[in-house]
């Protein structure tokens, strides 16, 4: 299993700069993204599904355009945990 972690510094900007092409060339099973700086509803998630990642989990910051993480995966995980249970950290996604 190939797992990669990537600080995208804004997923929308990364998409405009070839993120999907990079994703196709690296072809990981799981992608952990940091600093997505977007809410799931601000994205066309079908792009990730078409790229082979039908399972995606978004944990955005409360403040729009700030922080946040996401996981893209080819196979459905057995369990997904959102947050740490530490309130001040969870507000930042």
Name the residue ranges covered by the structural domains of the chain.
Answer: 3-75
Q: Compute the average pLDDT of residues 10-28.
A: 97
Read out DSSP for the chain? Answer: --EEEEE-S-HHHHHHTTHHHHHHHH--SEEEEE---S-GGGS-THHHHHTT--EEEEE--SSTTS--EEEEESS--S------S-HHHHTT-
What pTM did the predictor assign? 0.90
For residue 25, is pLDDT > 90?
yes
Q: What is the pLDDT of residues 33-75, one digit of tens each?
A: 999 999 889 999 999 999 999 999 999 878 777 789 999 999 9
């Amino acid at each position: 299993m190939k797992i990669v972690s990537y600080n995208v510094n804004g997923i929308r900007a990364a998409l405009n700069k070839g993120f999907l092409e990079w994703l196709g060339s690296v072809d990981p099973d799981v992608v952990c993204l940091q600093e997505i700086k977007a809410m799931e509803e601000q994205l066309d998630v079908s792009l990730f599904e078409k790229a082979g990642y039908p399972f995606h989990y978004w944990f955005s910051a409360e403040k729009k355009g700030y922080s946040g993480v996401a996981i893209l995966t080819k196979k459905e995980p057995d369990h997904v945990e959102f947050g740490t249970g530490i309130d001040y950290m969870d507000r930042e996604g």
